[in-house]
Every structure is written in C-alpha cells, then in structure tokens.
Structure 1
Amino acid sequence: MSRLIPRAIEPLLHELASGLRIVIVNGPRQSGKTTLLRQAHAVRGGQYVTLDDEKTLAAALEDPVSFVRGRPRPLIIDEIQRGGDKLVRAIKMAVDESRDRGQFILSGSSKFLTIPTLSESLAGRAGFLDLWPLSLSERVAGPIDFIERVFEEPQSLIGARSEWSREDYLEAIIRGGYPETFPLKSDLARSRWYEGYASTILNRDITDFAQVHHVGSLSRLLVLIAARAGSPAVLADLARDADLGRDTVRNYLSYLNMVFLTNDLQGWAANLNTRAAKTPRTYITDSGLATQLLSVTRAKLRTPGHRALGGLLETFVVAELTKLKAMSLSRVDLYFYRDSNDHEVDIVLESPRGEVVAIEVKASVSPGLGAAKHLVWLREKLGDRFVAGVVLHLGEQALSFGDRILSLPVSALWGHTRLPGYTD
C-alpha cells in the first residue's frame, strides 16, 4: 500500500469549514480531492456523496432542493460541477436559511463554480481552495515558503548546495504530480494511465458543459500546447496547425482551461515605456502529462540538447510555482514578460504592493551571467520595485550574480530536500 502524503492545504480546509458555511475545493481530476474530502468526512462526520455515481447524480438533478435538505451536515459533495447551477442554487438557499458554519464541503474538477454568476451568488458564504497535483514540497515533506522567502529575504537562498542531479530533475519532470502514477515504473504503464486520464476528461468532463464535435481535434490541440510551452498561444498558428477555425480554437482553449488541463500566464503589463505582449502563454498543468502528450521517454529526455527539455522544464517550474502560490501566505500573481524590443522574462511574480520577483528557467547545470541579462535589464527599469531576479537551473550551487540577481537550483523551490530513491 502506498504512503498517504499529507496535503498542505488540509489544515486550511478545516479552518475554513469551522468558520464558513461552504468550502469549495477546485482542482484537476486525480489531484487528490476525493481523498481530501474523505479525510474531512472522517474528521467532521456528516455525509460524503459523489456525483460520479449515476444514481446519486440523478437524484441531485431531479430534485436538488430535496437532495440538499434531506442529508446530514456537513454534506460533502464530490464532483459538484456535474450537478449544474440548479444544485448550487439549492445549496445557496440552504445556507441562507441557516447560518450554521461548516454545512457544505464541495469539490469540482472544472472551474464551473468560478463562473461570475455562480461565484457572486456564493460571495460571503464560501471559501475557495485550489488543490493541484502533488507538489515536490509535499512529496519530500519540504518547506512551502519559497515565495515568502524570495520576496522577504532573497539573500537567504544563496549558499545552499543541492543534491539533486540532472537525472533527478528529468525524473521529476516525467513523473509529474498525479498520485495515481507514482507506483508505475515504466514509461509504457505511465503512458497508458495518461491516455485514459486525458480521454476521460476530453470525452466526458468537457462534453458535460460544452458541445465538442471532434474530440480528436481537441486532443491534437492539447499536443500543440505541450509542444509550444513558453511560447504565446497565437490563435492563428494553433488554428493552422490543428486545422481548425480561430473561433473553434478560442472555445477549445477555454474548455481545456476550464477543466484544469491547461494553465494560462498573462502578459505582465508595467509602465516600462515598451509594448508588452498581450497574448497569454498556455501551459499543460502537469509536466508528466506534457511528456506523454509529446511521446517523450526517459531515454529521449536524457539525450543532450533534446529540444523538448526546455519547454518541459518551464512547464514543470510553472506548475510548481502555481502549487506554491495556492499554499502560500503571500498573495502574488504569476505572469510572463515580453516586449517589442525582445526583452523576455519567463515568469514574473508580482505582489499586491507592486513588488516584483522575476524568474528565468534554464535547462543548464551551469548558466553564466548571460542567462540573467533580461533580469538585469528589468532591475534597472523597475528600481526599488524589483526585489529579486532568479535564474533557476539544473546545477548544484546557489550563487549571487550581483545586485539582487540570484542563480539557484530548481530544487530551491522545495528547500533542496531529496526524495530517497527518487531515480531508483
């Protein structure tokens, strides 16, 4: 039996359930939501139901008001998006009739509950949590405070030495974060799991809320996104390569984002007297899924200079930062930056106060000062708003590259803790 890995947001879930009427946990399928909800049921009592059960779903759809009223509290409902807006409105009615705390804990595998008309109806009644696939911080029981440290005391990150090898990083990229894949050792077994995973979401979850006439085209679009990691999601290019109309591509991109298969970074707009890119960059939310979409095996990725490594590493880092953001005390937003003068920064973290940490991701074990040239440019443009620039790499040393510019191993994101037997 595999070890159950504690989730970093679990204490916050219980705190919200003790203080609010509704808690909503959103995230991809197989990210661990069901396990988290069952654990909440074991601690808090009440009743757990899943709308993946067709009889339960039929009851919820037939009479949502009675479905909600006739059950113990807390009522824990898994895959709430399958019940539609009528079930959500029945829940709203129930919590308006009683202001008791901890009445409902809901989970969803789509961003259904973040649609403005529904999220506004739950305003003041619900707390929202994101549960992504497991982060490396959770897997190695390492720290989850990288975002806080890089904003508050970036110099404290210098001097550490990572025990992570290039091979370890490649393995981390290939494995991704879905718990179900961890016992699977071979590329073939993992490939079969991901094929079934993607098929379920494309053929069922998306068709629950949208009309898709050619699921194969949606699948091809997903592969194109994986191949374009770190590049703008230009509609014209995607439409041409997927042999689809622009409007269809626009709709399909929104569907993939809605079910957490993709994650967008918006272009960072700052008054730098330059024309900044507005087209978002779209990433696959899990590097393991991305490697399977691209048919990249361990052997291929080990090849020096493999063309997919840079994009896959960037996909991995964006995913880890997104997970850390969901677990962080600090409120930050993630962006990228590119302007008409070819200044480009892979990831920009911005605090509510306008402070900025800029990150470049390099698939090198020993990046030179040239890797930080755009960070240096941004530092000079922003002045005191610029807290730190970070070059993340696959090497061992955490060094200073000058004033507020750091060169850190990627493992700094989880405190350099190594998972025993990771590449065994």
Structure 2
Amino acid sequence: MELVPRAATEQLADAVQDLRVTVVNGPRQAGKTTLLEMFQAAHGGTYRSLDGAEELAAALGDPVAYVDSGERPLIIDEVQRGGERLILAVKRSVDQNRTPGQFVLAGSTRFLTVPTLSESLAGRAAFVDLWPLSMTERTCGGEDFLQTGLGRPAELVGDTSPWTRDDYLELITTGSFPEVIGMRNNSSRRRWFNGYLRTIIERDITEFADIRHAQALPRLAAMIAARAGSPFVASDVGNGLSLPGETIRTYLKYLETVFLTASAPAWSTNLVTRLTKAPKVFLTDSGVAANLTNTDIDTLRRPGHRSLGALTETFVFAELLKLKSLTCDAFEIMHYRDRDGREIDFILETPDGRIYAIEVKASSSPHSDDTRHLTWLRDKLGDRFTAGIVLHLGTKGFSYGDRILSLPLSALWGHAPLRSDIVQQ
C-alpha cells in the first residue's frame, strides 16, 4: 500500500532544478512535511523544522549562520516562524551564490507574500502551492477536469457516473485533509476540526497579528461557511458579529493568510453593465465548513437541507483551487452577478481570454432552467465562450446544445473511483 501520489512532487522537483529558492505554501496539515521528507529522501539535502524549539532558537539567534550550514538544498519547514531576518539571510546567501536548488522553504501562512519579503526574493524563487488532497490525486486520475471537462467537455456527455448522492455527501462532509480522510467516526472528525481551528487561531494567526476580538474569528469563519455562494459585504457581516466592517476586512485577511479562506472576485466585461463587484468568499475545505455549520452526513441526507447548497459550492471551489495550483495558474476563478438578477457561480478565465462558466446545483435532478444564465452569457460572449457546465449530484451527463452541458460532479475528476491500492491519507 502506498500513499496518495501528490501532483506537487513533480512541480517541486522541477522548480528546485531551475531556481535558487523554492517556496512550498499551503495550509497546516495539508501534507507539506510528508512532501518535504519524501523530496529529501529522493534528492538529498538537509531538512529542518522551525516547529522545534531548538531549531527555532538557532534560526532566530544567528540566521546567517543558520542558512549557511547544512547540505544543499536546505529545507526549512514552518519558515514563517523565523521571521524577516531569516528570509533576508536566505536572500544574502543566494545573492552570493547563484546556483539553483539551494533552499526549499515551506510555510503554513502566506508569510512570504508580504511585499517587502516577496520583493526580496523576486527573480530568485518559485512558488508551489500544496492544498489538501484533490480528488484527481485521490483517484490517481491521468487527466484532470481542465483536460477533459474543459478541454473536451463533449466527451463526458452520455457517461454514467459511478458516484452517488450519498458518495458526494461523504466527500463534502469529510473534506480533504489527509488525516481526516482516514477517520470513520464523526466525533473523531469533529474533535480534529475543532483542534485544527484552535491551532490556527491561537497559534498561527497570533504569531503575526494582534487580535483584540479573537473570539470573533471562528464566528466569522462559521458565517463565511454558512453564506458561501453569496457576495461578501464586510459591513453586512460586521453587523451580524457586532464589529465594524473594517475590522471584518482585516480579520478576513488573517484567515486568508493561513489558507483558511479564499476569494472568487467578481468577473467583469465591457459587454455587460450593472455588475455587482463584491467577491464571494469560501472556506478552502468543505469538511471544515461542515463542522463550523454543525452539519454531518446524516443531516445532509434530509431532502432540502439548508446547508447543502453552500457546502456543495464550497467543495467545488476547493477542487477548482487545487486544479488551478496543479496547472500553474492555467485559469483564474471568478464569479458573475449583476443587478438584473443574473448570476453564475464560477467563471474560469484562461490567459488567452477563453471563458468557462460553471453552475453548481445541489440536486440529483438538474433542470433545463438551470442553464438560462449560461445561455445568456454564451450569447453575449460569442466565440470567447468555450463551455457552460451545470455540475450536479446526479449520475448522467447530457448536452443542452451549443456548448451548454450538464455533468455529474464527478466530472471534476473524470468520474474515476477512489483507488483501493493506495492509502487515502
């Protein structure tokens, strides 16, 4: 039995060959340490983690000596704990020696996206995002949704998916963190999620931010989970939490810094007016979102459950985020909404301007009316519109004609089943 192969493994190896510094970013417990240890076993180097008190003291006490010692590549995990002086010591080292593959830095916060630090590594570093397990990884699919569902969407029409509604509910409520996938007990999952959120708030965020209303952070995360799919208006959210809108915007940045949330900005075009500009904000894992809304698979099985739509859209957003990172940002993820009541859950735009529009329906019985906004956008954009896809919880894929399709949710991973010969964690 083998672990799930991570698609980022090849990205990391390629980046180390060509760049002096490679940065592996991603949420805590996504599998970064396992990835780094496997990389070291295959390529050599020195692995250090600043989670250890002695290592952290050495890095803080003399960062120049710390980065100058050890076999290359020097792999530093939880690098954000070393602070700005450690990053500047890395910059000094690679400016003196331009050989590729000197450092692999990994962190559980977007520490290196701070302008002063990102600029110090500009031209010296490549970034590899590692999210929790994607369904493409868990099924070991040879082709992802970009290649089949988006590149050749008509090929999926007529396929019958082996995935059932109950299968989807299990995926949605479990989420994709490797450790949680291996759990079969709902109470164990709940304890894990509660501990995870506590660690992020009480340790990771407080290391870089002074929070006056720490108790509001889990409440803000829960509100985001419950309102997923709706435009995020800071003043409205602030009213619900009795906090100013500016405080909400600041706290949202903190949640994004530790990869707990991510945004889909509003998409706009000069072909359309009367747009709304508010982004949509999602938790980056549907299991975390389900836990925050006190939702489990048994409650979701009830027809018409109020959380199913938001959680399904959160699941799809998380899978799209992973596909984006695995394809080196081959598309941007946005959403569309206008003041005439038209909205489309996700707009994927490629660098050459092609548009893929996705509607997410938490139903096993999609209806032709679900495509009306996709059809409207197709007629507005003409040839630039590549495909409009309704993703649903049913088993059949079919066409509504002229680039408008309805596909089971499992089209995101080519309908492939979970592999029984690998450890699903």
TM over 0.5: yes
Deviations 1:206-238 (A, max 9, x none): 011100123211111111111100011111111
Q: Contact 1:73–1:103 at 8 Å: present in 2 too? A: yes
2:140–2:419 CA contact under 8 A, matched in 1: no
Query: Which position in structure 1 is the counterpart of 2:191?
Result: 192
Structure 1 residues 330, 283: closer, same or farther in 2, change over 3 A? Answer: closer
Q: Superposition pairs for residues 324-403 of structure 1, below 5 Å?
A: 324-328=323-327, 331-403=330-402
Q: Which moved more, 1:335-344 or 1:52-61?
A: 52-61
Structure 1 residue 275, shift from structure 2 partner: 2.1
Q: Secondary structure at the match of 1:264?
A: strand
Q: Please give the per-residue CA displacement for 1:75-104, whole angstroms capped at 9, x wherever unaligned.
A: 000011111111111101101111111110
Per the TM alignment, residue 420 of structure 1 is displaced from its structure 2 partner at its CA by 6.0
Cα distance between partner residues in 2 of 1:264 and 1:152 = 25
Which moved further from structure 2: 93-102 or 305-314? Answer: 93-102
- 1:156 and 1:116 map into 2 onto residues whose CA distance is 44
Task: Name the aligned partner's letter for residue 141 of structure 1.
Answer: C
- TM value normalised by structure 1: 0.97
Give the corresponding residue for 1:9: 8
Deviation at 1:330, TM superposition (A): 6.5
Deviation digits for residues 353-406 of structure 1 (CA, Å, limit 9, x no counterpart): 111000000011121110011000000111111000000001111110111001
Q: Work out the CA distance in 2 between the residues paired with 1:28 and 1:276.
A: 33
Distance 1:373 1:197 in 2: 41
Deviation per residue, 1:123-156 (Å, 9 max, x gap): 2211101100001111111234311334432222
1:282 aligns with 2:304: no
Measured in 2, the distance between the counterparts of 1:201 and 1:351 equals 33
Determine if contact 1:144/1:328 at 8 Å carries over to the other structure: no
* SS at 1:105 equivalent: strand
Which secondary structure state, in structure 1, belongs to the residue aligned with residue 357 of structure 2? strand
Alignment of 1:311-322 (within 5 A): 311-322=310-321
Provide the aligned C-alpha RMSD in A.
Answer: 1.6
Deviation at 1:42, TM superposition (A): 0.8
Q: 1:297 Cα shift?
A: 1.5
- Partner amino acid, structure 2, of 1:222: A
Letter of the structure 2 residue corresponding to residue 313 of structure 1:
T
2:121 equivalent in structure 1: 122
Give the partner amino acid of 1:213. R
Q: What secondary structure is seen at the aligned counterpart in 2 of 1:249?
A: helix
Q: Is the 8 A contact 2:59 2:66 kept in 1?
A: yes
**Partner SS, residue 401 of structure 1:** strand
Using the alignment, how far apart are the partners of 1:144 and 1:334 within structure 2?
20
Partner residue, 2:217: 218
1:147–1:330 contact (8 Å) kept in structure 2: no
How far is the alpha carbon of 1:10 from its aligned partner?
0.4
Question: What is the 5 A alignment of 1:179-328?
Answer: 179-328=178-327
- Given that 1:140 and 1:418 are in contact with CA atoms closer than 8 Å, whether structure 2 keeps it comes out as yes
Structure 1 letter corresponding to 2:234: L
* 146-155 or 131-140, larger mean C-alpha shift: 146-155
State the AA in 2 paired with 1:195: N
CA distance in 2, matches of 1:60, 1:352: 40
Aligned CA distance change for structure 1 residues 382 and 302 (closer, same or farther; 3 Å): same
Q: Which moved more, 1:218-227 or 1:268-277?
A: 268-277
Taking the TM superposition and a 5 Å limit, the aligned residue runs for 1:130-145 are 130-145=129-144
Alignment of 1:158-197 (within 5 A): 158-197=157-196
- Unaligned residue ranges in structure 2 (runs of 5+): none
Aligned-pair distance for 1:188? 0.7
Other structure's SS at 1:269 match: coil
CA contact under 8 A between 2:138 and 2:419: conserved in structure 1? no
**Equivalent-residue separation in structure 1 for 2:324 and 2:35 (angstroms):** 19
Amino acid aligned to 1:68: V
Q: Distance in 2 between matches of 1:238 and 1:98?
A: 49
Q: Tell me the CA shift for residue 273 of structure 1.
A: 3.1
Partner of 1:38: 37
Deviation string 1:6-44 (CA, Å, 9 cap, x unpaired) is 101101211111111111110000000010011111112
Tell me the SS of whatever aligns to 2:215: helix
In the TM superposition, residue 116 of structure 1 has moved relative to its aligned partner by 2.3
Counterparts of 1:330 and 1:177 in 2: how far apart (Å)? 21
CA contact (8 A) 2:149 2:412 kept: no
Query: Structure 1 185/214 Cα, relative in aligned 2: closer, same or farther at 3 Å?
Result: same
Which residues in structure 2 correspond to 1:59-98 (within 5 Å)? Answer: 59-98=58-97
Give the equivalent residue in structure 2 for 1:103: 102
Letter in 2 for 1:412: A
Question: Which residue does 2:46 correspond to in 1?
Answer: 47
Tell whether the 8 Å contact from 2:73 to 2:103 is kept in structure 1 after alignment.
yes
Query: What secondary structure sits across from 1:206 in the alignment?
Result: helix
Please report how far the alpha carbon of residue 296 of structure 1 lies from its aligned counterpart in structure 2 after TM superposition: 0.4
1:415 is matched by which residue type in structure 2?
Answer: G
Unmatched tracts of structure 1, length 5 or more: none
User: Which amino acid is the alignment partner of residue 398 of structure 1?
Assistant: G
**Deviation of the 1:59 alpha carbon:** 1.3
**Matches of 1:39 and 1:15 in 2, distance apart?**
15
Q: Distance in 2 between matches of 1:236 and 1:173?
A: 29
Q: How many residues align?
A: 422
Q: Return the alpha-carbon distance in structure 2 between the equivalents of residues 177 and 119 of structure 1.
A: 29
